[in-house]
Homo-oligomer: A and B are copies of this chain.
Amino acid sequence: MSVDTRPILPGLRERGVDVTGYTAYGRLVYPVTSPGARAISTRRCAQMTESQRGASRRHPSNTSTRPTIRDIAREAGVSVATVSRVTHDDPRVISETKQRVQRAIDRLGYRPSALGRALSYQRTSTLGIVLPGLGGPYFAQLIEGAESVAVQRGVVINVLGTHLRPDAADAVRRLAERTDGLIIAGGTLPDDELAALAATGRVIVVAGEVEGAPTVVTDGRRAAAELTSHLADVHGYRRMRFVGEPDGSPDTAWRYAGFCDALAERGLTEAGEPLRLGLDVRSGAVAARLLHDEADLPDALVCANDELAIGMLATLPGLGHRIPADVAVTGFDDQSLAEIASPRLTTVFQPTAELGARAAAGALGDPIDDNTILPTRLVVRESCGCEPEHAPN
């Protein structure tokens, strides 16, 4: 029961890598190959005396192999074909034998191997989802939407976060092999890799674009322009700045483009370069500190998503800047948090789960348009400077 302090993760901290930190969208946080990595377990092994080996403290590896269809057949005194029929509720098998087989199944605790089935069916009943990272509500919702259609089809979902993997493209290819369809989020793979993959099979791209595969998106550009227009026309803000990395993902690129559109339309210029950071709460907080240090806050900050905006809400006030009195802040996506934080967040609603659901249906073989565009909606609340509609706070 003593506390174990020996790290198995190869000295990330020592190398200046922030092990604690999580980057939702962009950076790689661990080394590809590390010679020291296996060391601990082998060393630990070597240290053990023969008597300790396999002793009580070590957990026994369960070697009991699962029963196969043949075991059941033998046990029930029937052929494997009959067992297979029983597991498929085939009406042809007479109820007497069915009973017998079922009992054998229960007794031995048999469950058909997914692997065997997949090989035979030539279908894995698995849907792959490729995302940049796994943090944050946006991707969680996307997955949720996909799950909702997957469960109905008896399909399981495999999620792959590419930014957790140095060998992203290869990992995706391997995933593709194990799945019947693939949903790939924009910004996960280089364009050429994406295109190659798209050509290869049943893939749907969400929040991105590619030649050769259907896409499911929202018109972030238009929406961002609308949002920015509100800031300019209703509130008269002139000095606005974008928070997010336009080169990081198509979604962010579109939103930035819309932001620029609205400015240009009014002869305005950006109050500064985009704050090129990730898409997580942390990046919002970092941006807030950066801005604070610059000591020249713009009128309004247009964040690439709600999480960035939340990061600002959790940082700017503590630094002495009131929102929206000193600086307006807007988000994007309308996560449920947006209407709960204070001030409530002005943002753009986007049917994220629906994106996932559509993509899933398409990836699973439903007919789907080459380019599905889902609607967005400007959601004006208080963080832009508008009055609370009613209600206390």
The residue among A111, A114, A336, A340 with the most chain B CB atoms within 10 A of its own CB is A340
Among A187-195, A230-238, A348-356, the one that faces the other chain is A348-356
Q: Is the CB of B41 within 8 A of A372?
A: no
Give chain A interface residues in 192-239, CB to chain B under 8 Å: 199-202, 213-214, 219
Nearest-CB distance from A311 to chain B (Å)? 7
Q: Is the CB of B45 within 8 A of A3?
A: no
For A143, the chain B residues whose CB sits under 8 A away are 134, 161, 164
In the complex, the count of this chain's copies comes to 2
CA distance A149 to B12 in the complex (A): 13
Nearest-CB distance from A170 to chain B (Å)? 10
Q: Is the CB of A21 within 8 A of B335?
A: yes
The answer to the question of A318 belonging to the interface, with a C-beta cut-off of 8 Å to chain B, is yes
Known: A115-B178, A341-B318. A22 touches B289 (CB 8 A): no
Among A116-124, A242-250, A251-259, A264-272, the one that faces the other chain is A116-124
State which of B118, B134, B314, B374 has its C-beta within 8 Å of the C-beta of A342: B314
Nearest-CB distance from A330 to chain B (Å)? 14
CA distance A338 to B152 in the complex (A): 40
A24, closest chain B residue (CB)? B140
CA distance A199 to B64 in the complex (A): 10
A204, closest chain B residue (CB)? B59
Known: A20-B334, A367-B41. A285 touches B341 (CB 8 A): yes
Give chain A interface residues in 364-393, CB to chain B under 8 Å: 365-375, 393
The answer to the question of A79 belonging to the interface, with a C-beta cut-off of 8 Å to chain B, is no
CA distance A318 to B383 in the complex (A): 10
Among A30-38, A81-89, A98-106, A297-305, the one that faces the other chain is A30-38
Known: A165-B147, A318-B343. A152 touches B34 (CB 8 A): yes
The residue among A1, A33, A137 with the most chain B CB atoms within 10 A of its own CB is A137
Q: Is the CB of B61 within 8 A of A9?
A: no
